């Protein structure tokens, strides 16, 4: 009887041990799987962060390169306009060409103002040629618009002598101004033709849908 009881007790102990080991293995497997998932999630998150960081770095590098290209293009256009200004200065050194140009600039100023009284301002060294241009254009203007015009050349305030040339014209009270200096005409032309200038220098912009 004692041997039977002892055997049954041993079997019970073995059964308990087996069940405990099974539960231990199940819990261990669960813990291992949980940590494995966490580790995988951690590295997936790290991988995404690294990939995102690479994309940001690449975007920054591309933007920096784009800005450098844009600055180089702007510098090239500035150099081109500076060269054009230097050539404009040469025009004023040729009296025949410059006087003819002044005639056109003065007449254009008359038409743009359409005022009965006009004041013309010019460089001090241009007064004589501007006076000749005014004298020539008054009858042309009167015939075209069927209206009289009085023109005064400002002999007190001159345009800076270091500009390329041209004139500024004002109405009687000075509130309306037409700038027909050579620099202002160049700036206006450059602004109007900038899309064509850029296309000639750098080729057509594939992202530009309209040209005006």
CATH for 147: 3.30.2320.30
Q: Is residue 50 part of a domain?
A: no
3-class DSSP state of 42: helix
Does 18 have pLDDT greater than 70?
Answer: yes
pLDDT in tens, 25-78: 787 777 778 878 788 888 888 888 888 888 998 899 888 888 888 888 788 877
pLDDT in tens, 136-159: 999 999 999 999 999 999 999 999
Assessment of whether the complete model's pTM goes beyond 0.85: no
How far is residue 199 from each of residues 84, 187, 193, 203, 204, measured CA to CA in Å?
18, 18, 10, 4, 5
Q: Is residue 24 part of a domain?
A: no
Please give the pLDDT value at position 207.
Answer: 64
Q: Is residue 202 part of a domain?
A: no
Instruction: Give the number of domains in the chain.
Output: 1
Helix (H) / strand (E) element for 16: namely helix 2-91
């Amino acid at each position: 009887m004692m041997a039977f009881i002892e055997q049954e007790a041993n079997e019970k102990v073995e059964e308990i041990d087996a069940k405990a080991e099974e539960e231990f293995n199940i819990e261990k497997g669960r813990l291992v799987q949980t940590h494995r998932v966490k580790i995988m999630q951690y590295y997936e998150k790290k991988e995404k962060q690294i990939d995102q960081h690479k994309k940001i770095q690449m975007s920054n590098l591309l933007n920096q390169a784009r800005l450098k290209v844009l600055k180089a293009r702007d510098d090239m256009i500035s150099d081109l306009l500076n060269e054009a200004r230097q050539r404009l200065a040469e025009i004023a050194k040729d009296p025949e060409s410059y006087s003819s140009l002044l005639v056109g600039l003065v007449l254009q100023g008359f038409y743009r103002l359409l005022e009965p009284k006009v004041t013309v301002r010019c460089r001090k060294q241009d007064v004589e040629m501007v006076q000749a241009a005014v004298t020539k254009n008054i009858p042309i203007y009167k015939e075209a618009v069927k209206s009289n015009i009085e023109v005064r050349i400002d002999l007190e305030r001159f345009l800076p002598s270091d500009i390329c040339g041209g004139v500024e014209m004002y109405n009687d009270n000075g509130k309306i101004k037409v700038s027909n200096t050579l620099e202002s005409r160049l700036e206006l032309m450059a602004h109007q033709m900038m899309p064509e200038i850029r296309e000639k220098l750098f080729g057509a912009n594939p992202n530009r849908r309209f040209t005006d």
